[in-house]
Structure 1
Amino acid sequence: MERNPMETMQGRRRAFASIAALCALLAAAPLYAAGPAEIASADRALWPQPIDSPAAFDRASRAEILAFAHELALAEPLDDAALAQRLRLKQVDRASLDNIRARWWQRLADNYRLAARACAPREPFCAPAADDAALRKLAAGFDAAPTPAFAAWRSDAAHFHRIYLDEQLRLAALFPRTSSEIDTYSAQEVDGSELPDRQFLLTFDDGPTAPGGSTDALLRTLREHKLNATFFVLGERLQPRLAAEAPAKTYAGMCVASHGWQHQSHSRWPQWQDSVIRSNALVRSETGALYRPLFRPPYGQRRADSGEFFREQGLRVALWTIDSQDWNAKVDAGQVQGRLLSLMLLWRHGTILFHDIHDKARTALPWVLRQTRGAGVQWLDCRRYPLAD
């Protein structure tokens, strides 16, 4: 059937308008880099000794530090093109990479000295390294287990730390074009790296779930183990729960802070300030004494020039140092727990990121508590964080 020319023209105009609207939407939407192809997970069963004392924790910590530092040293000679190819990126920010790698080396050297201060004679993984230059040299030669008992662990650790390093290098190579937890913009932002040795803060994002869901189950688990945590909640998830139970009762004994109104990147979203103000007001009014003046940006993404806004709101941006990856469909609860323990041994302190809308933490966390019982690990009371300046 022959079409009316006017109808055809109007149809084309509508099609062009739809395409233009889609292009505008895509241009305005936040750009997320493709994530790593593989997520690091460690098999802690291959470590041949229990981690049930401070000395045992230090021994395992030295081993993880040397294994990660070895992979870091191997990657340093790569030029930008080779590194971009390895990380599946179009380009890398060399200044950001150099800055963050220098900070890693300093922190690794500090951690190694802490872990080696009570080394017994002929103790494994105890060669001296007084500074980051000495650790680089020591790590470069750490390509084999010191004894056959550690051979299976060393092979698994090489795989784990190569993948974990690439996770971190991707974030460093993209910063600050794509902001994340990999670096802070100022001392006003906190990420847990300022905590004392062996001290960790538990945090949970993206909740709450509907009544009776994984948030409530996790809260029971935390209370059973006499732990507390900071819950960074979304306004659009918290609001529907108000009719069922007061948040002050739901989160009794915990700390509550804002994660924004919606789980959108706050780096390019035009309404990001409204999201912060609106969600923070809801959390503050509904949680009373449990409220903490913190804001955790979804994906860790925020504007580089947002510091003054957060100061005016009386808020501090709160990031993290250890990502459990419990949100990731590529890892199960068992892999989350192995990853978490290896990273606790590597970094020795920091803020741990979990998500209460997923159920993996309820399995992983009790396992980590059992594995480190007697090891001198301390779980920071969320009411004391941030630490006094």
Structure 2
Amino acid sequence: MRIVFLFSAWLLSFGALAAPGDVATLDRSTWPEQLSNPTLFDVASRAEILMFARVLLASESLDDASLAQRLGLRTINPDAVNRLRQRMWQRLLTNYNFAQQSCDQDASWCYLVEDMATLRQQAAKFQVSADSYYIKWSEPSRLFHAQYLDEQLRKAALFPQTSSEIDRFGDYERNGEQMHDRLFLLTFDSAANAAPDNTAWVTEYLRKANMTGTFFVLGKDIQARLSDRSVANLQATYSAQCIGVQGWEFRSHSYWQDWQDSVRRSAELVKSKLPENYVPLFRPPDGQRRSDAQGFFRSQGLQVALWDIDAQDGAGKLKANQSAQRVLTLMLLWRHGVINFNIKQDGVKTAMPWLVTQTALSGIGWEDCQDAFR
């Protein structure tokens, strides 16, 4: 009876959270331990997985009309929502199995999870006692995961009419779901902002840290840079890094009549001027692209490069520290994936180094950009 009561209370609280459009972030100082070794990374990972699983399970009690109201939508695509939930459950199960491999070293948040049924059972009764060492983390984490889940459900509810990174249109599109456990790829979008351009700072930081990232550039930006600097200068800026394209302009490639020319011109320009850095990847601005584009991308030798972990560091969304802490929380939850930063927001110069420092001893790895999406 106690479990039923607690679950009912949780369902009621699920309907009284943030309004649609709020961006999830979590103050990592509420977590009482540093990620100072791989085992402690697993401890924090198990906790975030169980908390998200609890919120995901609670969301399934909502019918389509209630979910649409919660997400601030008139209608939803229930098939896309259900596909997303199924993928999330499968990934949570896989991730928890990885995370519990260190339970013999630290048993915190270690419960019997053998299959999907037992994961759902543990999610249904998951709670943090008032005298727990982790109690200050509990409610902020619940709020984070409920808001984050809303973000993802809303994208799924609108898919494919409004395309986004939430789902793929085919195997010519890639995200980080197939990456190995504890492995992450850094990527950087150009976004719509003309300035500032933090590319030189970020590439220098990565080289000094012996790391790489994939920079998705706009064709018109590269053309403008070549008008006031040499090709050699641009090559030096991107030395040891990878460059994909985001189109000629930062605009939706879903309904733009010239979207093919946008992709083609950008790829040809980068490939001709920066051949050592070029990788055959197209990152759709805001994830928006056509569902019938497979033939075009295959003819161009391109893959569509999506992402799993969004820093939400666009103008006015999150401050640098909030963005960094959001990314770290999602790294603990998903345990691998493609991270998306905005190169034209100054916050990246704070958020990315903080993230690298916080995870330096945690046992994670940073994927080499040349090996990604192969």
Same structural fold, with TM-score higher than 0.5 when normalized by the shorter chain? yes
Corresponding residue for 1:48?
32
RMSD (Å), alpha carbons:
1.8
Asked whether 1:372 is paired with 2:356, we answer no
**Quick one: structure 1 residues 274 and 43, their matched pair in 2 at CA, closer, same or farther if it must change by over 3 Å?**
same
Aligned-residue offset at 1:101: 0.5
**Quick one: structure 1 residues 285 and 209, their matched pair in 2 at CA, closer, same or farther if it must change by over 3 Å?**
farther
CA distance in 1, matches of 2:304, 2:206: 24
Corresponding residue for 1:245?
230
SS at match of 1:357: coil
Aligned-residue offset at 1:54: 0.9
Equivalent residue letter for 2:50: L
Asked whether 1:315 is paired with 2:299, we answer no
SS at match of 2:247: coil
CA distance in 1, matches of 2:338, 2:130: 31
Aligned-residue offset at 1:212: 8.3
Corresponding residue for 1:103?
87
CA distance in 1, matches of 2:162, 2:338: 21
**Quick one: structure 1 residues 374 and 365, their matched pair in 2 at CA, closer, same or farther if it must change by over 3 Å?**
same
SS at match of 2:111: coil
CA distance in 2, matches of 1:145, 1:234: 50
CA distance in 2, matches of 1:302, 1:323: 18
CA distance in 1, matches of 2:329, 2:315: 18
SS at match of 2:186: strand
CA contact (8 A) 1:209 1:215 kept: no
Question: In the TM superposition, what are the counterparts of 1:234-313 in structure 2 within 5 Å?
Answer: 234-243=218-227, 244-246=229-231, 247-313=234-300
Equivalent residue letter for 1:96: A
CA contact (8 A) 2:194 2:344 kept: no
Give the alignment partner of residue 21 of structure 2, picking from 15, 20, 37. 37
CA contact (8 A) 1:324 1:352 kept: yes
CA distance in 2, matches of 1:327, 1:223: 25
Asked whether 1:117 is paired with 2:104, we answer no
Aligned-residue offset at 1:245: 3.4
CA contact (8 A) 1:108 1:132 kept: no
CA distance in 1, matches of 2:41, 2:60: 28
CA distance in 2, matches of 1:332, 1:211: 17
**Quick one: structure 1 residues 357 and 36, their matched pair in 2 at CA, closer, same or farther if it must change by over 3 Å?**
farther
Question: In the TM superposition, what are the counterparts of 1:1-389 in structure 2 within 5 Å?
Answer: 36-120=20-104, 123-145=107-129, 148-206=132-190, 213-243=197-227, 244-246=229-231, 247-387=234-374
CA distance in 2, matches of 1:105, 1:255: 33
Corresponding residue for 1:9?
none
State the TM-score, normalizing by the size of structure 2.
Answer: 0.91
Equivalent residue letter for 1:304: S
SS at match of 2:97: helix
* Percent identical residues: 46
Corresponding residue for 2:8?
none
CA distance in 1, matches of 2:304, 2:131: 45
CA contact (8 A) 1:190 1:316 kept: yes
CA contact (8 A) 2:185 2:213 kept: yes
Runs of 4+ more than 4 Å apart: 207-212
Q: Deviations over 1:147-171 (max 9, x none)?
A: 5210010111011101000000001
**Quick one: structure 1 residues 254 and 337, their matched pair in 2 at CA, closer, same or farther if it must change by over 3 Å?**
same
Q: Who wins on radius of gyration, i.e. which is larger?
A: 1
CA distance in 2, matches of 1:87, 1:209: 28
**Quick one: structure 1 residues 165 and 283, their matched pair in 2 at CA, closer, same or farther if it must change by over 3 Å?**
same
CA contact (8 A) 1:208 1:215 kept: no
CA contact (8 A) 1:208 1:356 kept: no
**Quick one: structure 1 residues 75 and 207, their matched pair in 2 at CA, closer, same or farther if it must change by over 3 Å?**
closer
Equivalent residue letter for 1:223: R
Aligned-residue offset at 1:145: 4.4
CA contact (8 A) 1:63 1:125 kept: yes
Return 277-286 or 121-130, whichever deviates more: 121-130
CA contact (8 A) 1:202 1:228 kept: yes
CA contact (8 A) 2:253 2:290 kept: yes
CA contact (8 A) 2:155 2:166 kept: yes
